[in-house]
Chains A and B, each alone.
Chain A
């Protein structure tokens, strides 16, 4: 259940931004979670809903963008079929995880500022 410690880190980061910008309120935040980020989106939402009470995020809905994992060959750019061995059939190069597949990112915060 590391989702709780992730949410703690998330809210701490939002609090720092609120402090830095002297914001009055957080209206929402958006995160990106890759399929191979090692995070369960449902648990993450539950952890967020549990922990945000009494914090600057109390009234801020969380928007989650989930990114499927996809692999390709870094050499010939061939797509590696889902579930296949992670090596290019054509050039034998080890596959590369495409951008976002392991993302665990705070993309943005909507802040109300004076």
Chain B
């Protein structure tokens, strides 16, 4: 009602909000993050172009991390097929496929629902293999402890300059398929330079899933993340995941 004279006319009210449009997703992501950390699980969000080698990196991780005795798990997202999840299971990583249909990215709620299909609480390191895409996944918090962007040497040195938001979101860039470098006109120094122009704290690992190059450093980085998040020595699997996301 009009507050001037009480005449019953409607009023036009400007409502100041200044809220993140993805506030709902961020709430669901906080819920996922709380559960992961309470259960002693390091969750890593792997992003990158289709064909960057995300699945191959994880297959190689299963071999390289075996001496650590970590229990690994994964959800693997694609628009169609469960091919990547099947590959990961064959590599020894219990995995659940998220088939997104036409959705070009994962969001926190999709990840939350997918967790009901896998015993993620009984893992030490849990990979969320995002939909292959260098654009959309970058802005969705999933509740991960860290973001890893996998970039293959066949994609070109200027990818970080073309897709800055993705690399700004990254905690680590894994340069994959490095065994192919002798066959390419690829300039690693140019890639390092491009990354330094979009990441204020660039962290880059050069890796080949085929030859094993860089896998020790990759496993060491994961261990560093477990330490940084207070997960070393924490007994996993204590937290039950039974309630819905908080509103």
Contact = CB atoms under 8 A, between A and B. Distances in A.
Interface stretch (B19-27, B58-66, B111-119): B19-27
A104 B104 contact: no
A17 B17 contact: yes
B185 to A, nearest CB: 23
B101 to A, nearest CB: 12
Indicate the size class of the contact surface on chain A.
35 or more
B193 A85 contact: yes
A19 to B, nearest CB: 13
Contacts of A21: 13, 15
Interface residues of B, number: 37
Contacts of A106: 17-21
Contacts of B213: none
A107 B16 contact: yes
A24 B21 contact: no
Nearest to B10: A112
B197 A108 contact: no
Contacts of A23: 13
A38 B136 CA distance: 7
Given A12-B24, A86-B199, A94-B200, A105 B13 contact: no
Given A6-B22, A84-B197, A86-B197, A109 B165 contact: no
